[in-house]
Every structure is written in C-alpha cells, then in structure tokens.
Amino acid sequence: MQTHEIRRRFLDHFVRAGHTEVPSASLILADPNLLFVNAGMVQFVPYFLGQQTPPYATATSVQKCVRTLDIENVGITTRHNTFFQMAGNFSFGDYFKREAITLAWTLLTDSVEAGGYGFDPERLWVTVYLDDDEAERMWLEVGVPADRIQRRGMADNYWSMGIPGPCGPCSEIYYDRGPEYGVEGGPEADEDRYIEIWNLVFMQNERGEGIGKDNFEILGPLPKQNIDTGMGVERVAFLLQGVDNVYETDLMRPIIDKAEQLTGRSYGVDHTDDVRFRVIADHARTGAMLIVDGVNPGNDGRGYVLRRLLRRIVRSARLLGAEKPVMAELMKVVSELMAPSYPELATDFSRIETVAVGEETAFLKTLNTGETLFDNAASAVKSKGGKQIAGSDAFALHDTYGFPIDLTLEMAAEAGLSVDEDGFRSLMAEQRKRAKDDAQARKHAHADLTVYKELVDRGATEFTGFDELTSEAQVLALIADGVRVPVAQAGSDVEVILDRSPLYAESGGQIADRGTITASGLKLRVNDVQKIAKKVWVHKATVEQGQITEGDVVLAQADPAWRRGATQGHSGTHMVHAALRQILGPNAVQAGSLNKPGYLRFDFNWQGALSEAQKADIEAVSNDAVGADFPVNTFVTDLPKAKEMGAMALFGENYGDEVRVVEIGGPFSMELCGGTHVEHSSQIGPITLLGESSIGSGVRRVEAFVGLDSYKYLAKERALLAGVASSLKVPSDEVPARVEQLVERLKVAEKELERTKIAAVLSSAGTFVDQAERVGSVLLVAAAAPEGVNAGDLRTLATDIRGRFAGEPAVVVLLGNADGKAPFVVTVNKAAQDLGFKAGDLVAGFGPSIAGRGGGKPEMAQGSGSDPSGIPAGLAAVRAQVAELAA
C-alpha cells in the first residue's frame, strides 16, 4: 500500500466516523517553545488548554512534523526521520477511551477491501499505563488477549508537553515483525522487533512544574476529557510495504536511488555508506518541507537547523564520492515524490531549488576553506614530530568553519595522522549540553489566555477600518494585568475589547494603528492593537481623562495621518515586490516585510547582492507604477480561485477558506493581503530606495521611504550635495568626478607615505645587525622595534635583517609596541634551522611575558601580545632560551 493511500485511508476512516478533516498546519507556528511543529496535536493546543472553544467536537488530520534534537543520529537507526507525518484523531470533550480504542483497532485490522489496513491482529501488541485498568479492559473487549497487553511506567506511557498543561496516561500499539528481528517478549523486551505504530493519549489531567517525562506533579483532572492520538505514517508504510525500514518505502528509497546515481556507490553494501545514504534521503525531504514553509538557511534558530540539514547532505554525498553538485537533482526527486500529498512542493519548486542550491554552493566554498585550514593544522603537527591532530583543532574546524569531523578523519588518515576523537567528542558533548540546557531554559508554560476565551467564543471583532476611520462601538471587556476588570480610571493602562473597531491590528507586516477611544468626559490614547486567536482586537491604551466602564458606548478613531502613512508604506511594499519580480524574475519571493508610516522594509529570497543598475531599475519601475495612477481594487474570494488568478501568497502563512486579494494596476501587482491600502497608486508618493543588504544566506532586504518621508529624505540628500559642491567649488553635477579625483590623489599620497615609512623602518636594519649577539654558534638579534611599527612592517624589517646574515646561522626576534599591543616576529634562517632552531618553539618561551601567542612555520612565526610592558622580560627569556638551545 502506497504512502499517499495510507494517508487517505486514515482521513477517510475518521471522516466516516464523524470527524472534521483539518489540513496540516505549517511547520512554523507562533509557539515560543517550538522551533517547528513536532506533533500532530500542536495546532489544537488552544482547544486542549481550554483557551478557545473548538469549532468542531472531533477532528482528524495528517500533520507534517519535524524533530531535530538528535540530528547526528539520523541514519544510524532505520526507523527515525527528522521529517515525518503524524496521522491523528482528536476529541475535545466528546468521546474518550472506548471510542478511541475501537476506532484505532478497526482501522488497523479491517480488511483492505473494507477500507482498513489489513494488519494481522495476532501480531499487534498493546501497552497501557501502570494503573489504567479501564484501558486494559477495553483492549480485551476489542479482542487483544491479556498476554499481549503490557503495563509500563510514566516514562513510557504517560504523556505531557514537557511543560505545565494537559497530560494523561497513554496506550501504545505495537506490531510484531517476527523472530528474525529480535527476541520474544513484547515491547518491553525488544522495541526493534516490536515497532510502535500508534499512540493513544487519554488527556484527562493537568500537570505541574517539573523536568523530564516522569518528574512532575499531577495537579488534578481537566474540566473535560480529551483524546489525542498519533499514528506514524512512515512506520505503517514500511510495514505494509514489506520492507525492512522507513528508508526503503516508496517515498524514501527513490531518493537513495538518485543518490546512488550521483555518487557511484551502492546502498546495502557498506554500513557506513548506508548511513550516509539515509542521511541524504532524510535531510533532502526535511529540507524541502522546511523551505516550502518559508524557512531560509541562517545562523540561528530555524535557519540554522535548515543550514545543518542541507550541509549534511552535501557532506554525505561528498564522502560517498560525489564530485559535482547534487542538490538540484535530489530536490527534484523529493518534489515529485511528495507533491501528491503536498502540491505546494511542485508549484513552489523553483524557489525550493534556488534556496537549496544556493546553500550547497556556499558550503562547497566552506569545504575548500576547511581543507586549507586542515592542511595548516596537519603541517603544524608534523613539524613538531606529532602524529595526532588535537580534538580542539578538529572541533574548531567543525564548529567555526562547518567542516565535518568525518572528512577531518578521512583527510587525517590520508596524511598519515590520527585525530583525538575522544577530545572532539567531549567538546561536542559539552556543546550539545549547552544547547539542550538553553532550549530547556527557554521553555515555559503557554501564556495564559483564558481571560480572553469568552471573548473569542463570542466571535470576531468587526473591523470597520477598510471603510471608515471613526466607528461607534461598545466596550465588551476591560483587562488590566491579565485580569478582567469592570472599570479603569484616568492614568491607568488597560486593554480594551470592542465589538467593532476602525483601528488596524498588527498583522501581515503592517504595524498597528494609533488612535483614540472617546466618549463624553472620556479619552483613551490607543498605543497598540493586537489580535488574540486571529479574531479579537485588543486595544492597548492609556486612560488620559475620565473613566471607562465595561458596557460603555464609545467612539474609536484611527489617527488619520498615521493611517495615511501606513497605507502608503503597505501599498509601496506591494509596488516594490512587483518591481523586484519584474527585474529579477519569479524567484524573488517575499520572505517578510515591515510597513509603517512613511517607511517599508521588504525581505526576499535571492542569492547575491543586487547591482547598482538593478536597484536603480527597481526604484524606477516602482515609481513608474506610482505615476501611472493605477486603481487599487480589493475583493474577497476563495483561496484556490485567488491562486488561479495569480495572486501572490506569503510562504509559510496559513490562510483560511476565504482570502482578501489586493490588486494594483491589474496584472502589475496581485497579492493576498489583509492590510490597508491607498485607493490609487499615485497616493503612495515617491518611493526612494535607501539600500539593500543581506540578512542571511539566500535572503536580501530592501528598505525605502515613501510619500512625504521620501521627499524629506531627498531634500536632505540635496542639501548635503549642495554643501559638498560648495566646499569643492564645483557645480553639483561635477561633484562625483571631483570626489573621485580627490580619492585618487589621497591613494597616491598614502602609498607614498607608506613607502617613506617602510624606508625609514628598513634604514634601521643595519643598526640591528650591528647589535647582533653571538650565542654559541648562532647570531641572535633580540630587540624592541621602534615604537609604532605595525605587524606588517615588523615582518618586513625582520626579513631584511635575516637576509643580511648570508649563510651564517641567525635568529631574529623583534618585539614591537603599537596601539597598546605587542606585535612580534621571529624568523630563523636555513643555517639556524639545520641546528634545530624553530621559530614557533621560540614563541612559547617569550609569549607569556607579553601575554601573547602566535604560530607559523619553522622559518617564521608571528603574533601579538596584549602587554607591551613585558617586552624587556620577553627579550631576556629569548636570550636564555637561545643560549640553552645553543648549548
């Protein structure tokens, strides 16, 4: 049975049983505890917590999930994936244990002809929580014999989110793969032979504070008993398809097949290679799913996880023998395999490919840099007669430069060296512990939003701001410090919930309106407006006059000037987006935005900086559209029709069944957008690009002023240009040429100054040679350089001194004093090296005196110290060390 059919059968089974089918949420949700959605129930958390009343009593979904806690272990086991699909059925105070058990058992054991999966009931085992007699009795009733039901403790069969909130005992269903896969005895004996395929959580209690799976207090029962189940689609697939593991299923094995073609190696021949093939298959799929939901490679958070995944693909392919880039081919296979269930992988493939290939290109450059750094580290080890690269060096290559340890091991072996793997693993373990501690520290209980529940259940705030700036409204509630209050006095801060409001609540990149709430003798200044559950407007305000009481009828007004500037900024963003796509092409896709009065910031997916010509063209196209006075039309339609019309959607955003489309100038710009806009494009005013920059790998940012702010900026620039022209005594249009002439003259002067400076430094070389001390058979120059000589000039001086000793053994050590630092250079000529003198060894002798360190090759070492006062002691240490070596 193919995986897509397994998904469909699950959903159909529960829809027939009265459940509402709910689409998978994006992998990115606004939950402070989660980088990614990692369980099927995450999008339903507000219902389980009682913060919102669900729109349905029961639901079913197949949720896409990502878990990345142990990325390094992917591929080592054959049943874990970073991306997986969790099929689930949920009850919000409706049915409980009996129905959940019956529905799961019938789907698993009913024949394929009857719509089930056709599992042999004789091969299914069940676990229940230690004292859950009720669940055991129900499993017996559906036909599971007592000897195939096992009781397990809290760590295995008691569920919670790891933070205070709902919890409860659970019951897991296992499939026995047979004696060839392990020992008899059920799940307690061997979880490789007995594979968990379904977990039924009986959510009935509330947990308190604590850490871990079993170290917390159970506070008491929940107001309602809920059901949360999860069936692993990938695990069921490999069992129904008769293969040994998830990597050999219909949605994974073709990726491995492609990797075999790209690398020339075969899967199933060597365990180490097999792990690398599985890493490629797993990470390629996860990477594509993250990119399509709006994640871009970066240096922290979600972006860092994606970057690691993509780079591990490149690394694994390279270790398997790939000599050319692989990402484009792998992403194409993933898209073709997964698109039947996730069609956005096909429609957005161009962007997925661009992001993935861009990261591959960047990492290949990093690998080249890492190879150079490895060569330096290996040379340093060999020069000292060593045989092992330090664990700290291997860790630095891995952590700082992204150079993988397995490549370090391979290259070390080729160079006849080993690596201190224990030291490396210890440092990696410390890093992981810091990361886990940090993640745990950032976890906290979900914000208590129960105070808003009645208001959310009442219905959405009516937003009147598309048609008017002033609206009569009734005060539905007042909230202060998280508590509902009947009245708020002058001087207090309060959250005001109205039945209707013209003030825009922050969303879609547009910041909230500012405004007022007034009545006879009453005035509140509205400082911010936010949404609760995407439907209730919360006006965060300060009472400036009078007192406001729940039930009051008031006038809510958006600041007209603020709104005008905000609409200019938001409409200007649409113009810039359209211009970017016109100049750069369809891959310049929105990755975020910020609009406020007079200003816009637009982030988009793109590899590489824009040229001056491209920026000028984007500005010109945007302003041409402003000048064309395009009409701005808005209308509401369903999502499929909007996409069919070509409306642009924000990647990773979850849209409802109905969407609002903003159309500017017909085909020029059409986007899904809930923001406020001008009525004609000319009302935006001039658009002036301020600059363009990188905010992460594959993501660029443009910023611009619009309207009056644009005019003010241009006026300021004009005044600045006029001042420069006046100083240079040339017309404004000649300023660039004149500045260029001055810059060239300055460069010439600086070069001449540098030549003079070097000549002055080198003129002292003869003096240092004359001061050379004979120590045994070696001539030693150990001296303080002239004050202010920088490291580069110090090296030039030392090299010149060394050259004046012809073939006689000589050691030159110069310590400088420049800008509060103590740069140094040690150089040893060939004759002295033959006697056993090495520049790097000498640094170790005097370095502590100046709080410095450095390194290099036997003939030359250089570095810097932070304590110039130690120079005399350092020179004395050099003389003593050379004397000892000479003896």
CATH of the domain at 45: 3.30.930.10
Which of 527, 551, 575 is the endpoint of a domain?
551
- The 3-state secondary structure of 450-487 reads HHHHHHHHHCCCEECCCCCCEEEEEEEEEEECCEEECE
Alpha carbon distance 37, 47 (integer Å): 16
Which alpha helices (DSSP H) does 585-670 contain, by range? 612-627, 639-644
Helix (DSSP H) and strand (DSSP E) numbers for the chain: 26, 35
Sign of CA dihedral 568, 571, 577, 581: negative
Structural domain contains residue 770: yes
Helices 253-263 and 271-292 cross at an angle (nearest 10°) of 110
Number of domains in the chain: 5
CA distance linking residue 690 with residue 264, whole number of Å: 50
- Flag whether 673 is marked binding: yes
DSSP 631: B
The residue behind tokens 């059409």 is 670
Flag whether 427 is in a domain: no
For 368-433, the DSSP string reads HHHHHHHHHHHHHHHHTT--EE-HHHHHHHHHTT---HHHHHHHHHHTT-EE-HHHHHHHHHHHHH
**How far apart are the C-alpha atoms of 887 and 883, rounded to whole Å?**
6
Closest CA to 632 of 574, 549, 702, 589: 574
Q: Which of these, 784, 794, 810, lies nearest to 761 by C-alpha position?
A: 794
Phi, psi of 302 (to 5 degrees): -60, -40
| 582 part of a folded domain | yes
Q: Which of 335, 338, 334, 314 is nearest to 263 (CA)?
A: 314
Do 703 and 801 lie in one domain? The reply is no
Largest CA-CA distance found in the chain, in angstroms, rounded: 103
Evaluate whether residue 424 is within a structural domain.
no
**Residue among 286, 280, 290 at smallest CA distance from 326:** 280
Nearest in space to 611 (alpha carbons), one of 687, 700, 698: 700
In 133-229, which residue ranges form alpha helices assigned H by DSSP?
Answer: 133-142, 154-157
The reply to whether 502 falls in a domain is yes
Range of the domain at 190: 3-243
Other CB atoms within a 10 A radius of the CB of residue 154 amount to 18
| Rounded CA separation 444/209 (Å) | 10
Total-model pTM: 0.68
Tokens linked to 96 = 């409980």
Give the span between the Cα atoms of 832 and 36, in whole angstroms.
Answer: 61
- Sequence-distant contacts of 139-146: CB under 8 A, at least 24 apart: 139/101, 139/171, 142/101, 142/102, 142/105, 143/105, 144/105
Query: Residue 471 belongs to what H/E stretch?
Result: strand 470-480
What residues are paired with 378 via a beta bridge? none
Provide the CA 452 distance to its chain's centre, in angstroms: 31
Q: Is 14 in the same domain as 101? A: yes
CA distances from 435 to 72, 428, 432, 549 (A): 14, 11, 5, 48
Strand, helix or coil for residue 544: strand
pLDDT at 471: 96
Partners of 497 in the β-ladder = 477
Q: Side chain identity at 220, as an amino acid letter?
A: G
Whole-number Å distance between alpha carbons of 221 and 330: 49
pLDDT attached to residue 442? 43
In whole angstroms, give the CA distance from residue 643 to residue 672.
9
Q: Are residues 786 and 650 in the same domain?
A: no
Same domain flag for 691 and 595: yes
Residue recorded with tokens 């092992």: 388
Query: In angstroms, rounded to a whole number, what is the distance separating the alpha carbons of residues 317 and 306?
Result: 17
Among 413, 440, 474, the domain boundary falls at 413
Residue 486 lies in a domain: yes
Residue 526 pairs with which residues in a beta bridge? Answer: 515, 541
Q: What spatial distance separates the first Cα and last Cα of the chain, rounded to whole Å?
A: 82
What phi and psi values does residue 477 have, to the nearest 5 degrees?
-165, 155
In a domain, 248, yes or no: no
Kind of pairing, strands 470-480 and 194-210? unpaired
Quote the CA–CA distance of 533 and 99 in Å, as a whole number: 30
Of 694, 557, 565, 573, nearest to 622 by C-alpha is 573
Tell whether residue 65 is among the known ligand binding residues. no
Task: Identify whether residues 630 and 704 lie together within a single domain.
Answer: yes
**Average pLDDT by stretches of 10, the chain with 887 residues:** 96 97 88 79 85 91 88 79 95 96 97 96 96 96 96 91 83 96 94 94 88 80 91 95 93 96 95 94 96 84 87 90 94 96 91 90 80 81 86 79 72 83 84 61 53 87 95 95 92 95 93 95 96 91 95 96 95 95 87 91 88 95 95 91 82 72 91 94 95 83 94 91 89 88 90 77 80 89 84 85 86 89 91 88 87 80 89 90 86
For position 647, which CATH number holds? 3.30.980.10
With H, G, I as helix, E, B as strand and everything else as coil, classify residue 173.
strand
Length of the chain counted residue by residue: 887
750 lies in some domain? no
SS3 337: helix
pLDDT at site 855? 67
The token pair that represents 157 in the structure block:
């069969």
Residues 82 and 131 in one domain: yes
Which residue matches tokens 């001086």?
A: 797
Residue type, position 566, single letter: A
- Are residues 536 and 572 located together in one domain of the fold? no
Last residue in a domain, options 243, 271, 289: 243
DSSP-derived pairing of the beta strands 522-532 and 658-664? unpaired
Q: Which residues pair with 471 in a beta bridge?
A: 556
Report long-range pairs for 847-853 (Cβ below 8 Å, ≥24 apart): 847/874, 849/873, 849/874, 849/877, 850/815, 850/822, 850/824, 850/874, 851/822, 852/822, 852/824
Query: Are the CB atoms for 778 and 835 separated by under 8 Å?
Result: yes
Closest CA to 775 of 873, 623, 880, 699: 880
pLDDT for residue 438: 53
The predicted pLDDT at position 401 comes to 63
Quick one: pLDDT at residue 445? 46
In this structure, the answer to whether residues 181 and 56 fall within a common structural domain is yes
Specify whether the CB–CB gap between 857 and 826 falls below 8 A: no
Q: Tokens 């490919």 correspond to what residue?
A: 353
The reply to whether 93 and 176 lie within a common domain is yes
SS3 content of the chain, % helix, strand, coil (to 5): 45, 25, 30
3-state SS, residue 246: helix
Paired tokens of 615: 């920026």
Q: Which residue has the tokens 């890493």?
A: 279
**Is residue 774 domain-shared with residue 688, that is, in the same domain?**
no
- Do 802 and 688 fall into the same domain? no
Give the whole-angstrom CA distance, residue 723 versus residue 740: 17
Q: Which amino acid is at 853?
A: R
| Rounded CA separation 410/145 (Å) | 53
Nearest to 469 by CA among 681, 676, 631: 676
Residue 299, pLDDT score: 72
Question: Contact, 860 vs 839, CB < 8 A?
Answer: yes
Q: Rounded to an integer, what distance in angstroms lies between the CA atom of residue 686 and that of residue 626?
A: 7
> What separation in angstroms does the CA of 442 have from each of 51, 437, 609?
22, 9, 35
For residues 599 and 700, state if they share a domain.
yes
Residue whose C-alpha is closest to residue 598's, from 707, 439, 692: 707
Find out whether 677 is annotated in a ligand binding site: yes
Query: What are the two backbone dihedrals, phi and then psi, of residue 585, each rounded to the nearest 5 degrees?
Result: 110, 175
